[in-house]
Structure 1
Amino acid sequence: MGKILDISKWQPTVNYKALATECDLAILRVQDGSRVIDQIYTKHATGCENNNIPYGVYAFCRFTSVEDAKVEARDFYKRAHVDGHKPLFFVADVEVKTMSNMRAGTNAFIAELRRLGAEKVGIYVAHHLHDSFNLDYSKSDFKWIPRYAADGKSIIEPKFTCDLHQWTEKGKIAGINGPVDLNRLTGTKSLKWFIQGHTLTVSKPSTSKVKRYTVTADLLNIRKSPSNDGKVLGQLKKGQTVQVVSINKDGWAKVKSNETFVYVYAKYLVFK
């Protein structure tokens, strides 16, 4: 399994093609309260879309009342969809106490997102505030908690159950220079649950005309059938090219090999 990261304006320079070789899911910041828009968001969203990286979005919450929470949620939802972007899920990032009843504010934020059409909504809550904020986690679809080890390499388990654990702020990943936040799945929800609805943006070549694609992964399995359960027949190396006949709705590329056809996962191919 690849890496799950979250990024914002603090990562202004990203090689998205390289990122796609290691990243299974990105979570992008849209805003810090209603007043501060993350100016890099649309760049990150476009980069993910053009390189088949599934992504969700988060907003750092600054609401000071229930009504203010609704306003922030509306701004978040609208900004997340600017330029036609379609994130897979939305997260309320609750890390600072901005009103006496954080539970009421967070509930209002989530309810407003759902009213606007958000199907999957999560809560990111600071580990040390998990209990004192007394949030109603049943209102969300998943919980995301940060807890780091000082060395940035070890994993310290959260004290509370969660679906995503942000385990380091000193992670490394292809395509980004410098440290990044990395996350891991810790609940019952699979990666498939988080990325359900993701649509490949690679242009599908006509079945009547073979096109050449280049491998971006270090090693890419060649399978007999278009499935992770398909028998592995061999591997392609980074930089090798293949003749792609078609790409199906599940992201498997049908590749011409001599006089037969085999399959590779199209996420790790780029059209040249």
Structure 2
Amino acid sequence: MKTNQLMKRIFAGSLALVSALTVGTTAFAAKTKIADVSQYQGNINWSKASKDLRMTIIRVKHGNPGDSDYRIDSKRNVNANGAYKHGTPFGQYDFAEFNSSADAVNDARQFYALSNKHARFYVLDNEKRGAGAKGHEQTYVNAWYKTMRTLTNKPLVYYSYESYVHVHKMNYSKFNGSWIADYGAKPDVSTDLWQYTSSGSLSGISGRVDLSRTVDNSTVTKWYTNTPKATYFTSVSNGQQLRATRNINRYKTANLTGKVGSLKYNSNLTAKAIARSSHGTYRVQLSDGSYITANKGYIQAR
């Protein structure tokens, strides 16, 4: 009797363990999809979508001010906050329409300023030629890349269609990876992530969505797992000129308490000294006596 009861308990425990492992394995296996999303996916149920997604790539904007089809993605913050809340790592992308090198520089600065601080990597979506880009596509891509590299040490990824890469002979070897679209077959150009369909399905989205699969799994994984740590200015000279690369606030104290104002990205700043918070975090004291973050993800030397 005791032996039978013991065997029953062992059997029941084994079933419970197998059940738990199966659920865990199924849940893990479900997180295999890679989707890019924008306002065109409407209101995404991120609780459901997160159960399918290995990662996602979220649009920030389309074009630059002055372009006839310029728009800031109305769901960029909702989607970024939803993905972050539900534990889905994400990057963000910039649909560009370059007309000049100056346009590419301004495009990169605005894109970075509008991006979410939790983005693990940034993508240049280079699939549409601006009116003045003929013969200069590579020059403008290089200007975007160079500008972004001064703003962040997070991975930078190049996106385009296979046909665009061929026609314009694009070189994106400086980027930390590539994401290439071809809905017929695996791209015949260098690619780490392959966007293979625009009519995929995903839990939490009622319509169709772009889906991608990895070609170089190791490279793609690094985009969202090897996120560099924040770096800070540890010294400045009195009168040194700085530039805000994101919208930031000014405060009365080095603990960033007592907000006294805000600054828009690209604002010029004059530093007075470096200060430390009560926890030892570096801050910049400005010439007017107020304090701002010393995080190089938010300010840069001019």
CA distance in 1 between counterparts of 2:190 and 2:97 reads: 25
Select which of 94, 110, 121 maps to 1:75: 110
Unaligned runs of 5+ in 1: 150-155, 199-272
Question: What is the RMSD computed on CA atoms of the aligned residues?
Answer: 1.4
Select which of 25, 37, 48 maps to 1:7: 37
Question: By percentage of residues, which structure has more helix?
Answer: 2
Over 3 Å counting, the alpha-carbon distance change for 1:192 and 1:143 in structure 2 is closer
Are the counterparts in 1 of residues 195 and 212 from structure 2 also a CA contact under 8 Å?
yes
Larger radius of gyration: 2
SS in 2 for 1:10: helix
Are the counterparts in 2 of residues 90 and 118 from structure 1 also a CA contact under 8 Å?
no
For residues 113-262 of structure 1, the aligned pairs below 5 Å read: 113-149=148-184, 156-187=185-216, 189-197=218-226
Are the counterparts in 2 of residues 161 and 187 from structure 1 also a CA contact under 8 Å?
no
4+ aligned runs moved over 6 Å, structure 1 = none
Residue 57 (1) aligns with residue 92 (2): yes
Match of 2:120 in 1: 88
Return the offset for 1:187.
2.0
Are the counterparts in 2 of residues 144 and 166 from structure 1 also a CA contact under 8 Å?
yes
Return the offset for 1:128.
1.0
SS in 1 for 2:112: helix
Which structure's relative contact order is higher, taking Cα pairs within 8 Å and 6+ residues apart?
Answer: 1
Are the counterparts in 1 of residues 193 and 220 from structure 2 also a CA contact under 8 Å?
no
Are the counterparts in 1 of residues 177 and 220 from structure 2 also a CA contact under 8 Å?
no
Aligned residues: 189
CA distance in 2 between counterparts of 1:5 and 1:145 reads: 13
CA distance in 1 between counterparts of 2:88 and 2:217 reads: 22
Are the counterparts in 2 of residues 171 and 181 from structure 1 also a CA contact under 8 Å?
yes
Return the offset for 1:135.
2.1
Query: Given the two structures, how large is their TM-score scaled by the length of structure 2?
Result: 0.60
Query: Given the two structures, how large is their TM-score scaled by the length of structure 1?
Result: 0.67
Return the offset for 1:62.
1.1
Question: By percentage of residues, which structure has more strand?
Answer: 1
